[in-house]
Amino acid sequence: MDILQGMITGFAVCLEPTKLLACFFGVLVGTAMGVLPGIGPAGAVALLIPLTFHMDAASAVIMIAGIYYGTQYGGSTTSILVNIPGEAASVITCLDGYQMTQQGRAGAALGISAFASFIAGTVGIVGLMLLAPPLAEFALRFGPPEIFALVFLAFTLVAFLSSGSMTRSLMMVVLGLLLATVGQEAITAIPRFTFGSVDLQSGLDLVPLIMGLFGISEVLLSLENMRHGEGALTVRPTPRFWDLLPDRRDWKRSAGPIGRGSLLGFLIGLLPGGTGIIASFGSYAIEKRISRHPEQFGQGAIEGVAGPEAANNGAAQGAFIPLLTLGIPGNAVMALTLGALKIHGIVPGPFLIKEHPGVFWGVVASMYVGNILLLALNLPLIGIWVRLLKIPKSILYPLIIFFCIIGTYSVSNSVFDVGALFVFGFMGYLLRRLNFDLAPLILGFILGPILETSARQSLIMSEGSFGIFIGSTIAAVLLGLSAVVLGTAVYSELRKGRLSRGLETLKREMEASQDKP
């Protein structure tokens, strides 16, 4: 009954005209920032947070929340249309989303991504409303060893990420890990690969990496294609609006991925350090693993869009739970939200619901409103986005470069990062010309430091005993799962005969070399 009463309070708060406006403005700006390559949720919120200081606390958080889940909606748009993720969590959406566009199915991809976001958002809000306090307790049980085990499990999923050769994927993971080692490491503060540069001391930033590897390299690749007189996208004549949307078959294929993605995203969003990107990669890997036609992944499988897009939106809602109920900011955006609340003299924690019911329930209720607004906003936009593809590349690509630069610069107002953007751009171009898949690189780059730090923290905590990794049930279960995942991957490789064939070749070669005198 408390919840019902709370929700009534909440809707009364969030339907006030000023709050409604804050919500609408938040989701509108969030979508726009998400669509623009380079500006992700953290950048968008950081840019707009000064606006919230003149509002009351509830409006401020309603707006920030709107910006946050709005960017998750918008982030997939450019992934699908031009193969450039609008923000980090949408990297994986490029794989199948862009393939769908090339098959003339951009509308269906955008449509399913909007619906998936809406459904996952709603699942997340219901979870937030009903289960916030117990779930927050669960999140607290993740200490360094548990985080290590979770990230280890995420790494094993690489096995299912790539459509091509496993060796090449692993090479990219390792490259990502190497890039992530640049900078002062977290345990002993020793600078690695900084060559005396202050800018490198805090390491390479994710935004120039993603925007360079995906954005700039995409432009370079198409330049090359244009020179050879190819590469013009085949856009079918603009069909009627309803024909753009996903059809019944798409829905049938997407229902499962959306459901699983929503749940997975929500759970991962809860955890400290859990972000949209782990959720979306995880969802993609799971869908590919359990799919009856895994070979279609990477070739335009709609499941590869629906699942991850649901997952990153679920994560966006889940992340609010530890913040609002315990005052723990799980990621950069939540840290910003915490700051905004503090400026208004509100310290989030278990007392928030009692002391500031208007803020807590107002924010939860506004998420329902915001999600509906986003769906209403995004569906009609699909027609416009699809038409965007008709913009001549001579205009579109300079614009993309422009937005990549602005987005990169806005992260920490750094010219160095803009330089890094172009270096990564050329690197991405070379790697893609050599047919390397870049998604595993991003995974390695993001997860590597978490894995290293949590492993070393755990070992400091246990005074060097490795027992700590199986000392807690959560860590033991997660590591057990990793073993199962690795085991099945090896087994299926064996069954395909690749491994045994490989071994035989090796054996033959060795025998041949032994035969030589």
Partner 1 sequence: MYLRKSHQLVVGLIVFAVVSSVLTGGVVRAEYPEKPITLIVPWPPGGASDVTPRSLLKTMSEELKQPVVIVNRPGAAGVVGTLEMERAAPDGYTIGTYSYSQTLTNFTAPNPPSLANVVPVAKVMYSPATLTVNASFPAKTLAEFISYAKANPGKVRSSNSGKGASAHIFGEAFDRMTGIKQTHVPFNGYAPAITAVAGGHIEATCIPVGDVHPMVKAGKMRILAVAMQERHYLYPNVPTMKELGVNLDTGNWVGFIAPKGVPEAIVAKLDRAIEKALKSPEVVSAWKEMGNVTTYLNHKDFAKWLVPHAAETRALVEAMGLLAAPKK
In this structure, what are the phi and psi dihedrals at residue 184, rounded to the nearest 5 degrees? -70, 125
Closest CB 322 distance from partner 1, rounded Å: 8
> Which amino acid belongs to residue 99?
Q
Interacting residue with partner 1 among 8, 130, 223, 460 (CB under 8 A): 460
**What residues contact 260, with CB distance under 8 A and at least 6 apart?**
283, 286, 287, 307, 310
Interacting residue with partner 1 among 37, 111, 348, 362 (CB under 8 A): 348
> Which amino acid belongs to residue 324?
L
Question: What's the rounded Cα separation, in Å, for the pair 86 and 171?
Answer: 25
Query: Other C-beta atoms within 10 Å of 31: how many?
Result: 27
Specify burial of residue 32 (Cβ count, 10 A radius: 0-12, 13-18, 19+). middle
| Burial annotation 493-505 (CB, 10 A radius, 16+ → b, else e) | eeeeeeeeeeeee
467 binds partner 1 (CB under 8 A): no
163 binds partner 1 (CB under 8 A): no
Q: Which of residues 414-443 bind partner 1 (CB under 8 A)?
A: 414
Closest CB 328 distance from partner 1, rounded Å: 5
Interacting residue with partner 1 among 9, 163, 181, 412 (CB under 8 A): 412
DSSP-assigned states of every residue in 486-512: HHHHHHHHHHTTHHHHHHHHHHHHHHH
Closest CB 201 distance from partner 1, rounded Å: 4
Q: Which of residues 203-242 bind partner 1 (CB under 8 A)?
A: none
Please say which residue, 103 or 472, places its beta carbon nearer to partner 1. Answer: 472
Please say which residue, 9 or 201, places its beta carbon nearer to partner 1. Answer: 201
Please say which residue, 217 or 453, places its beta carbon nearer to partner 1. Answer: 453
> Which amino acid belongs to residue 75?
G
Interacting residue with partner 1 among 223, 347, 494, 506 (CB under 8 A): 347
Q: Is residue 458 within 8 Å of 468, Cβ to Cβ?
A: yes
Question: What's the rounded Cα separation, in Å, for the pair 1 and 8?
Answer: 11
Question: What's the rounded Cα separation, in Å, for the pair 517 and 510?
Answer: 13
350 binds partner 1 (CB under 8 A): yes
Interacting residue with partner 1 among 17, 50, 467, 517 (CB under 8 A): 50
| Burial annotation 206-230 (CB, 10 A radius, 16+ → b, else e) | bbbbbbbbbbbbbbbbbeeeeeeee
349 binds partner 1 (CB under 8 A): yes
Q: Which of residues 112-151 bind partner 1 (CB under 8 A)?
A: 140-145
Please say which residue, 165 or 197, places its beta carbon nearer to partner 1. Answer: 197
Q: What is the CA radius of gyration of the chain?
A: 23
In this structure, what are the phi and psi dihedrals at residue 183, rounded to the nearest 5 degrees? 110, 175
Closest CB 95 distance from partner 1, rounded Å: 30
* Residues 167-206, mask of contacts with partner 1 (x by CB under 8 A): -----------------x-xxxx-x--x-x-xx-xx----
Look at the block and give the residue holding tokens 């079918």.
236
Nearest to residue 185, comparing CAs of 498, 437, 470, 449?
Answer: 449
Helix (H) or strand (E) holding 128: helix 106-140
> What is the rounded end-to-end Cα distance, in angstroms, of the chain?
86
Total residues binding partner 1 (CB under 8 A): 54
358 binds partner 1 (CB under 8 A): no
Q: Which of residues 284-343 bind partner 1 (CB under 8 A)?
A: 326-329, 332, 335-340, 342-343
**Options 45-53, 119-127, 283-291, 428-436: segment touching partner 1 (CB under 8 A):** 45-53
Closest CB 48 distance from partner 1, rounded Å: 11
Closest CB 456 distance from partner 1, rounded Å: 9
**Options 104-112, 156-164, 287-295, 456-464: segment touching partner 1 (CB under 8 A):** 456-464
> Which amino acid belongs to residue 333?
V
Q: Is residue 146 within 8 Å of 451, Cβ to Cβ?
A: no
Closest CB 310 distance from partner 1, rounded Å: 27
**Options 26-34, 115-123, 436-444, 460-468: segment touching partner 1 (CB under 8 A):** 460-468
Nearest to residue 253, comparing CAs of 83, 105, 88, 75?
Answer: 105
Please say which residue, 196 or 229, places its beta carbon nearer to partner 1. Answer: 196
273 binds partner 1 (CB under 8 A): yes
Nearest to residue 428, comparing CAs of 216, 150, 249?
Answer: 216
With residues binned 3-state (H G I as helix, E B as strand, rest as coil), the percentages for the chain, rounded to 5, are: 75, 0, 20
**Options 2-10, 240-248, 282-290, 408-416: segment touching partner 1 (CB under 8 A):** 408-416
Interacting residue with partner 1 among 193, 351, 466, 491 (CB under 8 A): 351
471 binds partner 1 (CB under 8 A): no
Residues that bind partner 1 (CB under 8 A): 46, 49-50, 53-54, 140-145, 184, 186-189, 191, 194, 196, 198-199, 201-202, 272-273, 326-329, 332, 335-340, 342-351, 412-414, 453, 457, 460-461, 463
